[in-house]
Amino acid sequence: MAPSRTLARLAAVAASLCMIGAPAIASAEPNAAPDPNSCPYRVSTPPAVDSSEVPTAGDPPQPLPVPTKPVGGDALSGCGVIVAAGTPALPNDVSAEAWLVADLDSGDVIAAKDPHGRHRPASIVKVLLAMQ
């Protein structure tokens, strides 16, 4: 029993040290602020996260061409935060890579971030289905 108790104590000490050291390691490099002029998903989607998103054998499909004039015109062509005139200040804690807020009655875009970025649609589809 003594050896197993010693092993349990060593494991507890090792786990405690890992928990104490992890925050220091995680906060060693501060996150760089994203560049609002960089549009990494203007042409293609982010890389696949697992094998279910990888195209099957053969030539993978090419990205669709980027329209010369985006829907919404030049006002919605950027990939940073875009707001309509008179829009109140936006919350600072929005961490989504892309989002869009539109007036339900008129369809006017009130605010957006990377509105034409080629992000995966799963979450957007879920929201749209929930609105029906």
Torsion angle, CA of 110/115/121/125, rounded to 10 degrees?
A: 20
pLDDT bracket for residue 16 (50, 70, 90): very low
pLDDT for 111 equals: 92
Q: Write out the two tokens for 10.
A: 């060593």
SS3 for 91-114 is CCCCCCCCEEEECCCCCCEEEEEC
pLDDT tens-place string over residues 31-61: 445 555 578 777 777 777 777 777 777 777 7
Q: Which residue has the higher pLDDT, 70 or 38?
A: 70
Q: Which residue has the higher pLDDT, 76 or 121?
A: 76
Q: Where are the domains of the chain?
A: 1-30, 35-42+65-132
Residue 3 has pLDDT above 70, yes or no: no
Q: 3-state DSSP helix/strand/coil percent for the chain, to nearest 5? A: 30, 10, 60
pLDDT for 46 equals: 75
pLDDT bracket for residue 94 (50, 70, 90): confident
Least confident of 29-43, 72-86, 107-121: 29-43
